[in-house]
Amino acid sequence: MSYDKKKKFIVNFIFYALIAAMVFLAVKYVLKWIMPFVIAFAVSAIINPFAAKVSKDFRVNKRFAACFSAFLFYALGVGIIVLTGFGIYTALRNLFYDLPQIYNSSIEPTLASAVAFIQNSISAFDPSVSAAFEEFSSSFFSNAGSLISDISVNAVSWLSSYITKIPFFVAAVFISVIATFFIASDYDNIRAFIIRQIPERWHLFLGDVKDYSLHTLGRYIRSYALIMTITFCELSLALWLLGVKNFAIIALITAVFDIIPVCGSGGVLIPWSVFSLVQGNFAFGIGMLIVYGIITVIRQIIEPKIVGDQVGLPPVVTLMAMFLGVRFMGVFGLFAFPIMLVILKNLDDSGRINIFR
């Protein structure tokens, strides 16, 4: 490699590294402060074609059509989020509130039967060990009851503490809604103003970035919809074979949980299997653990392949991007890093930038 090529490579590397660092810092530290206005602009861009169609078909003012579209969007979106969130909060709160009663009526008798069986088996061989085991089991049940009560109280308090944060969330949503009405009613002028502030030589580049982003995001959504469908079919078949009632609804809820990295299907299947084992339903509990293991293995195999094929990346590169994304930016990075990598690849393929050879 000649000196000029080395110099060009170093300059390009530093330039793109600085851009990447600025984007990373902006997303991590600045974006959260202006998020209501970013959401407002994004919503305005989404509803703008619908508002234009309403204005044309019903021959009403564009501003009125935009405000009506924004109201319709938020009425449906916020309504769904509030009803779903309230349902989840109520279900969790009732579960944790009833946890001590569930332990006393179901879990403790099953554990006591298991402990009595073990103690009788031990006493047949060594009575001294049996006495020590009896003392340990008594201490265990005493501490377990207190632990369950503490978990119930702390969990309910934890959920209640999140309710106190709702006013801040409502304030952010309120600002987003108001900003959406202002931006949507004058979207074309605001968009034209923003474009005028950008140097003309960047217009084609940013246009390509927007097109590639939307294209990649659409493929990303399709890939995870396919993964969720596969998980739903696997769970439906497994739960049906295990004799679970309403297996389709449970499979759908679990498949949605499986898409969420923090939760996963284990957030539903593992507690369910443990509870079944504690109650003495060993066949069902073991069956649920086997189902969880199969689903997890299949998910780990198909996710990089499906996501990579949809967005145009090799599976190993997709897996690496997902891993680095989680390490640097958590759950957001799991989705953002592969998308950014695809955008860079498309820009490089089109000749807008020169990174890869």
The model's pLDDT over 53-74, given as tens digits with 9 standing for 90+, comes to 988 888 888 889 998 999 999 8
DSSP string, 307-357: HHHHHT--HHHHHHHHHHHHHHHHHHHHHHHHHHHHHHHHHHHHTSS----
Q: Which residue carries 């170093």 as its tokens?
A: 10
Structural domain ending residue among the three candidates 197, 224, 259: 197
Quick one: 193 and 216 in the same domain?
A: no
Largest CA-CA distance found in the chain, in angstroms, rounded: 92
In the predicted model, what is the mean pLDDT of the chain?
77
Quick one: 94 and 191 in the same domain?
A: yes
Quick one: 54 and 188 in the same domain?
A: yes
d(CA 261, CA 337) in angstroms, rounded, equals 15
> pLDDT-based confidence at 219, cuts 50/70/90?
confident
Quick one: 2 and 24 in the same domain?
A: yes
Quick one: 207 and 192 in the same domain?
A: no
Which of 12, 37, 32 is CA-nearest to residue 329?
A: 32
Quick one: 152 and 220 in the same domain?
A: no
pLDDT in tens, 135-169: 666 666 566 656 666 665 666 566 566 556 566 66
Contact between 333 and 339 (Cβ < 8 Å): no
pLDDT in tens, 118-137: 667 666 666 665 566 566 66
Quick one: 187 and 265 in the same domain?
A: no
Structural domain ending residue among the three candidates 197, 217, 234: 197
Q: Which residue carries 């600002």 as its tokens?
A: 175
27-36, 40-49, 145-154 — most confident range:
40-49
Please give the average per-residue pLDDT across 340-351, as a whole number.
Answer: 76
Quick one: 268 and 213 in the same domain?
A: yes
> pLDDT-based confidence at 326, cuts 50/70/90?
confident
User: Of residues 314 and 39, which shows the higher confidence score?
Assistant: 39
Contact between 325 and 338 (Cβ < 8 Å): yes
Quick one: 112 and 43 in the same domain?
A: yes
User: Of residues 325 and 71, which shows the higher confidence score?
Assistant: 71
Please give the average per-residue pLDDT across 179-196, as a whole number.
Answer: 89
Contacts for 279-287: CB closer than 8 Å, 24+ residues apart: 279/106, 279/107, 279/110, 280/110, 280/113, 280/114, 284/242, 287/238, 287/242
Q: Which residues contact 352 (CB under 8 A, 6 or more apart)?
A: 204, 205, 208
User: Of residues 151 and 47, which shows the higher confidence score?
Assistant: 47
Report residue 295 as tokens. 């689903």
d(CA 43, CA 182) in angstroms, rounded, equals 12
> pLDDT-based confidence at 233, cuts 50/70/90?
very high
Quick one: 228 and 339 in the same domain?
A: yes
Choose the weakest-confidence range: 43-52, 155-164, 239-248: 155-164
pLDDT of 1 higher than 60: no
pLDDT of 99 higher than 70: no
Quick one: 143 and 7 in the same domain?
A: yes
User: Of residues 105 and 289, which shows the higher confidence score?
Assistant: 289
The single-letter DSSP state of residue 202 is G
Q: List the domain range (segments joined by +) for residue 55.
A: 1-197
pLDDT of 181 higher than 60: yes
Structural domain ending residue among the three candidates 162, 197, 232: 197
Domain count, the chain: 2
